[in-house]
Amino acid sequence: MENSEVLEVSEQFGTHLAGQYLTFVLSGEEYCIELFKVQQIIQQESITKVPLSPSFILGVINLRGKVVPVVDLRIKFEMNVGERTEKTCMVVLQLSTSGSPFTVAFIIDEVKEVTTIPEDVIEEVPEFGGSLDVTFLMGVAKINNSVRMLLDIDKLFSIEELNRLDSLQE
C-alpha cells in the first residue's frame, strides 16, 4: 500500500464522525455521544427496580406514560460507583439496533456541553489487544489537551442485554 493510500484512508476516518456531540462525565472521565441520538436530559427520577436484572440495569422509569429502562453506565463500564450529586442526571436516548428502535435512559455523573467535534481531532480507537472489546467506541477525540471517547451507543450492549432492555419496555 502506498503512503498516499494510507493518508487517504486516515483522512476519511474522521469525516463520517465529525458533528455535534453531547459530552458527559462518568467517574471523572469525559465521553461523547452523537447529539441526534439524545431525546432529552432529565433530573433523576424515581426508579422501579426489576428483579433479576443485570446489575447495570437499575430498573425502569415512567416517562410520559412510557416505561423506559434505566442503565447506570458506571456499572456497565465496570467503574467505581460514586455518590450521586445534584449534577447527576439521566440522558434519554433512542437506540437503533437490528430490531426496532427503543428508548433507554443512562444515568451519568454530569452533562458537560454540546459541542461540534471537527474531523481533524478524531482518531481511530487505539489497539488494546484481543482481550478488550472496544467495538462500542467509534473513535477518540483530542480536545483541549484531553481525550474523549466517542461512544457508539448502538453497539454498547450484547444481543442478550438488548433483549433484556427491550423486554422491560413491553
Per residue in 2-13, pLDDT (tens digit) is: 443 443 444 444
Asked if 41 and 107 touch (Cβ cutoff 8 Å), the reply is no
Contacts of residue 108, Cβ cutoff 8 Å, sequence gap at least 6 = 24, 25, 26, 73, 88, 89, 90, 91
Q: What is the mean pLDDT of residues 68-86?
A: 87
For residue 85, pLDDT over 90 is answered with no
The whole-number pLDDT of residue 135 equals 81
pTM for the whole thing?
A: 0.81
Give the residue ranges of DSSP H helices in the chain: 3-15, 73-76, 159-168
- Residue 15, pLDDT > 90, answer no
**Higher pLDDT pick, 125 / 9:** 125
Return all residues near 111 (Cβ < 8 A) that are at least 6 apart: 22, 23, 24, 25, 41, 87, 89, 91
Give the pLDDT confidence score for residue 170 in this predicted structure.
59
Q: Which CATH topology does 3-168 take? A: OB fold (Dihydrolipoamide Acetyltransferase, E2P) (2.40.50)
Taking Cα atoms as reference points, which of 45, 85, 71, 66 lies closest to residue 162?
71
Looking at residue 141, its pLDDT comes to 92
Encode pLDDT of 89-121 as tens digits: 999 998 876 667 788 999 999 999 999 999 999
DSSP letter for each residue of 72-115: EHHHHTT-------TT-EEEEEEE--SS--EEEEEEESEEEEEE
Give the position of cell 435512559.
105
Distance CA 104, CA 94 (A): 7
- The confidence score (pLDDT) of residue 106 equals 94
What is the tens place of the pLDDT at every residue in 19-73?
999 999 999 899 999 999 999 999 987 999 988 888 899 999 999 889 999 999 9
Q: What is the Cα Rg of the chain in Å? A: 17
| pLDDT value of position 99 | 66
Question: Residues, the chain, total?
Answer: 170
